[in-house]
Every structure is written in C-alpha cells, then in structure tokens.
Amino acid sequence: MPSPTPLLSVLLIACSVGGDGDGSDPTPLAQLTEEEVEGYVTDDPVDLSPGSTVGGSRIVTEDDLAGLTWEDLGGIPADLLDGDDDTLAALGCAEGEWPVMTSVGWSCTDSLPLSALDTSAAAEGDVLVMTASGPEWQGIEEALGSGACPTGMVLVGDICVESSVRGPSTWIDAVATCASVAAHLCTHAELAPACLTDAVDPATSPSGLEWLADRTANGQAAVSFSQLYGCDATAQNVGSSNEYRCCTQPG
C-alpha cells in the first residue's frame, strides 16, 4: 500500500488512539501551527477531485479554457466582434494627407504643425520637402530641382557650365559629344562670363583655345582664349582639335 501523503499522515496521527493500549484516554497531541499546516500542504502537489470548489464556486481548470472562441465570450462591443476596430481605416484621407488627432477625434490634414517638426537634422538654409519616405530636410538647390545644375556643372547667370574642361576634339565631335549628354557646346556668350568671373575650375582651364558653338564663315568656328587672354574670341578651322565645355539649361 502506498505511503500516505504528509497531510494524510497528520490526519491519521491525529485520529489514532494514544496511551498504553489499555483503553485509557488518548495521549493529547501537540497542536499544529498555521505555518506547519501550510508546510504539509505545499510540500507536494495536491490532486483535487473533479468538481472541487472554493467558497462554493467551481474551480476553473486549463481544460475549461481550451477552445474558447469570440462567440463563447460575453459583453464584447459590436465593433470588435470582427477582432479589430480600425478607426484610421475609416478616415478616407486623400493622397498627400495624413491622420492627425484633434480635440474632437481623428481627422485628415495636408499641413504639418510647426511644433511637430524635428529641426535637429536641418542645416542652415535647408528647406523641408516631402519625399517618398516622408518629410526630409534638403538644401535649397536640391529641393528646387528645376533650378539646380547637373553634377559637374556650375550655374553662371542662367546657364549651367561644366566646371572642368573636356579633352581636345574636333569641333564636330565636340558638338556631338555635348549633344549625347543632353547638353550643347557652349557659346561665347555663355562661356565668357564664367571665364571672366573664374566660375569654372581654374585648375582645369584650357591650355590655349576652347571651342565655342559660334560658327563663322569658310569652315571655321569660334574659339575663346583663356582668362589669360581676356576670354576673347577668334576663329579656327573646324577640323582642328581644341578643348571644350558643354552647357545646358538648369533643371
């Protein structure tokens, strides 16, 4: 027969007859303290019979909770019966708008309050633009786009001029090369201001003459002297080889 649990042992001992076995009164047992009783109870797991109660209420077990569905629960708000109450999905904001919480609830807006802007990443002169990934601080030239020059060019007046001179080529090849990069061979009127104001890179100034788009008579085209010669223009046979620059409109 298996040994009784500690609690059962206590009960058996309490109910046993003490004395000398001669029918005399049982020997009084020492009264257990609360801590001692709790020690016996918590020493090993207690397997309660099905239907056990606490204060008259049935004890709910893990098996009772398995397989519960929404339909088994009561008091669920109607807008949560599908498992989700998506307030923002019902706003219907237009493209370019975003949801904002106001004093009366959620609404749509196309403006951003200044107090909500994070200016920590902004440099002096930056402007805030909306990109595909969200608001972003950008330099004014990058933000305007249409007023900026392509990489490798500088804005001189209202024209973008290459800051570095291209290698020697015939006039025809220079025209074709500039056209292939969506630009054109600079005219004297476009290149002279850049030359005079030193807007182009002085380290890459032409060694002598620089082709211009201006065409003259008798198979010749204009060439411009470098800044050393006052950026003036003369003419040379189109079959000669000279350095050159491409120009284009901003944007």
d(CA 240, CA 220): 9
User: Domain 153-248: what homologous superfamily?
Assistant: Mannose-Binding Protein A, subunit A (3.10.100.10)
Q: What is the pTM of this model?
A: 0.43
- Residue 248 binned pLDDT confidence (cut-offs 50, 70, 90): very high
pLDDT mean across residues, the chain: 77
Q: Where do the structural domains in the chain lie, given as residue ranges?
A: 121-149, 153-248
Name the residue with tokens 């206590």: 10
Which residue, 249, 236, 129, 111, is CA-closest to 190?
Answer: 249
Mean pLDDT of 39-68: 80
d(CA 12, CA 92): 75
- pLDDT computed for residue 85 by the predictor: 61
Lowest mean pLDDT among 139-148, 164-173, 234-243: 139-148
DSSP lists the bridge partners of residue 107 as 100
Top pLDDT among 83 and 183 is at 183
Residue type, position 228, single letter: L
pLDDT of 205 above 70: no
Judge contact between 185 and 247, C-beta under 8 A.
Answer: yes
Q: What is the pLDDT of residues 137-166, one digit of tens each?
A: 877 666 665 567 888 888 888 889 998 889
- Residue 204 binned pLDDT confidence (cut-offs 50, 70, 90): low
Q: How many CB atoms lie within 10 A of CB 97?
A: 14
Percent of the chain predicted with pLDDT > 70: 73
Most confident of 24-33, 37-46, 73-82: 37-46
Judge contact between 173 and 185, C-beta under 8 A.
Answer: no
What backbone phi and psi angles, to 5 degrees, belong to 37?
-65, -45
- pLDDT computed for residue 179 by the predictor: 96
d(CA 237, CA 222): 9
- pLDDT computed for residue 147 by the predictor: 60
